[in-house]
Chains A and B, each alone.
Chain A
């Protein structure tokens, strides 16, 4: 059987993500399980959780990133959320009262930067605001009880992140107008 070639030659071999994932999968699983095993033996699960979250962050951000909707807003919020999760886990393992303060600072900054991105590149980013809206609402939901329950100057971290959350949310609704509600309809459809 003689085949007449009618396709261009294959492009130069390059390192493919699928191959990296295939190779990296088992070291990651083994590393995670080893942490669990060591913690099981020493009877303390704190640091294995930190290791597991860290491994997950490396996996989901660098090795196997999302295949849909990778844009500056979504990526920044995803990374921020993962860092906040890691900080939270660290604060559980190592007694550290200031973790929620740092989390609120991170959230406030990310909300501000996302909003700046929306305004500076409105045409392209107007359909990518959903993660920012969610962050605003989550931030607000955590800020109010923390602001009420804490005392002293430190409580203002939460006050500020709550205010930024409300401000960004309202400003987004105004800027997006009808698109905002359309966006909600799309994102929460169950059809």
Chain B
């Protein structure tokens, strides 16, 4: 393949008039001056430029315009400087490498659906340009004596065609392996992150910047503004701070454990996830229906999830519990791109799950209490105390103990999860290229489903990641939504046949 590209590029080079040949030479000279990667990596990066130049030539774009869009100055100094930085994991991220095991890793995915098919060459180039703005993502997970940490890697990060199952574990073992991946399939650009790097908010910033740069390379024009990170801005220290350290410790630490919740029935799939389902709806319609019941979109969806979860279990007694991640940035404004979220949960006795309005009212009350700043502070204090107490225990002792404890407790106190990323905005010039978005949570160990919500424009996507092939939960959700008059477009992977 590389040989074909090389040949085509040589042909292209030869076909250029003399003046343009000089410009091309100057262009690659500029590239050489900005790239000090090892030979193989440098060649890959250079090849990315060549492929895009060929693409532009095929599209009939003038050389000046092509050079302007692709200017090597967009690489900044990222590929010219050696990797020296490293990042300690923030308090809430420390558990992810300790609890991961073969075939199971906390990976989440954020996707944007464009109105036209993705051009792979441009996406790769956009990634080459974007990554410099997010040095905290250009890292590899390493083992320290006491804790894991993230070590900066200077390589050419690859955007690949999607071939596998969404949110499958990221291979971290190889030297310099990144902890995220960028994928494309049809009109979809997806970014998958190992949770150790960032949370949904940080990941979304990366995806927005990547999409913005991709569309710019495609010819879109927009001014950097608040809605989208400017990749030419220098990264700030605040973006990579451990924002948890800014929070003053609460006096009463509490909040990690609870009694085991009822799980939805159905055999756990050997391959996780067993399937991913997206329900695409009109944001306006969903909001109106939620309002009709006197709740917010989150309250309403949680209520439906309780009803659908009840329909998906054979248990008659016990409590259902839905985990709700809480973005701490709303209590402590922070620009951090790293993990800065905690979680609370809403519980309901199976026998008390009844009419929607009463259920929504109860959920609203529980959320007000459990997702409050005070509750989160107490949970944070517990997390900090736990981390602090094992700080000086060597990792080779801590790791098996943490894995065993996590294996025993795991996510058993929850039945399901609802993570609402909220409304994602794009500048109007870019919004016209974007159809919708989705957010997929990687799989839990015992929970049979995990759900998310994300809205952009008038499109809201409710995603269900399934760990079992029993379709009861998603079918009930679909039925409840359509019964309330919401038009739902169901898309997804179907069930993987393993």
Chain A residues in contact with chain B, CB under 8 A?
A: 1-8, 10-11, 13, 16-19, 21, 64-71, 123-125, 127-128, 179, 182, 186-191
- Contacts between chains A and B (CB distance < 8 A), count: 122
- Chain B residues, CB < 8 A from A17: 102-103
CA distance A182 to B82 in the complex (A): 13
Cβ–Cβ < 8 Å partners of B86 in chain A:
182, 186
Quick one: closest A residue to B173, CB to CB? A70
Is B4 among interface residues, defined by CB-CB distance under 8 A? no
In the complex, which of the residues A4, A7, A128 contacts B185, with contact meaning CB atoms closer than 8 Å? A7
Minimum C-beta distance from B410 to chain A (A): 15
Flag if A18 contacts B88 (CB, 8 Å): no
Contact pick for A2, options B102, B151, B185, B490, CB 8 Å = B490
Q: Are A191 and B88 in contact (CB under 8 A)?
A: yes
Contact B392 A190 (CB under 8 A): yes
What is the bound-complex CA distance between A7 and B190, given in angstroms?
A: 12
Q: What's the dominant secondary structure at chain A's contact region?
A: loop
Q: Please give, as numbers and ranges, the residues of chain A lying within 8 Å of B104 by CB-CB distance.
A: 18
A186–B143 Cα gap in the complex (Å)? 9
Bound form: Cα–Cα A19–B97 in Å:
20
Give 15 A-B pairs besides A5-B491, A187-B144 with Cβ atoms closer than 8 angstroms: A6-B492, A7-B185, A7-B494, A8-B162, A11-B164, A13-B498, A18-B102, A18-B104, A21-B101, A64-B102, A67-B102, A68-B141, A70-B174, A188-B146, A190-B391
Mask, B108-120, CB within 8 Å of A = 1, is 0000000000000
**Number of residues of chain B lying within 8 A (CB) of chain A:** 54
Chain B positions near chain A (C-beta within 8 angstroms): 38, 83-84, 86, 88, 97, 100-104, 141-149, 151, 162-166, 172-176, 185-186, 188, 242, 270-271, 276-278, 391-392, 474-475, 478, 489-494, 496-498
A124→B175 contact, CB < 8 A? yes
Q: How far is the CB of B356 from chain A (nearest CB, A)?
A: 20
A65–B86 Cα gap in the complex (Å)?
A: 25
Cβ contact within 8 Å between B142 and A68: yes
The 6 closest A-B pairs by CB, nearest first: A18-B103, A70-B173, A191-B88, A7-B493, A71-B175, A10-B496
Q: Is the CB of A128 within 8 A of B277?
A: no
Residues in A whose Cβ lies below 8 Å from that of B496: 10
Enumerate chain A residues within 8 angstroms of B88, measured Cβ to Cβ. 189, 191
User: How far is A16 from B100 in the complex, measured between Cα atoms in Å?
Assistant: 16
Asked if B149 and A186 sit within 8 Å, CB to CB, the answer is yes
Query: Given the known A-B contacts A18-B103, A18-B104, are A1 and B474 also in contact in the complex, defined by CB atoms under 8 Å?
Result: yes
B429 to chain A minimum Cβ distance, whole angstroms, is: 26
14 contacts between A and B (CB under 8 A): A1-B490, A4-B492, A5-B491, A5-B494, A6-B491, A7-B276, A10-B271, A10-B493, A10-B496, A11-B163, A21-B103, A127-B151, A189-B147, A191-B88
Q: Please, how many angstroms separate the alpha-carbon atoms of A21 and B494 in the complex?
A: 27
- CB neighbours of A66 from chain B (8 A): 173
Q: How far is the CA of A10 from the CA of B166 in the complex (A)?
A: 10
Q: Quick one: given A68-B172, A189-B144, are A3 and B102 in contact (CB under 8 Å)?
A: no
Residues from chain A with a CB closer than 8 A to the CB of B185 are 6-8
Q: Are B493 and A5 in contact (CB under 8 A)?
A: yes
Interface pair B38/A124, CB less than 8 Å apart = yes
B162 touches A124 (CB 8 A): no
Give Cα A71–Cα B173 distance, bound, in whole angstroms.
8
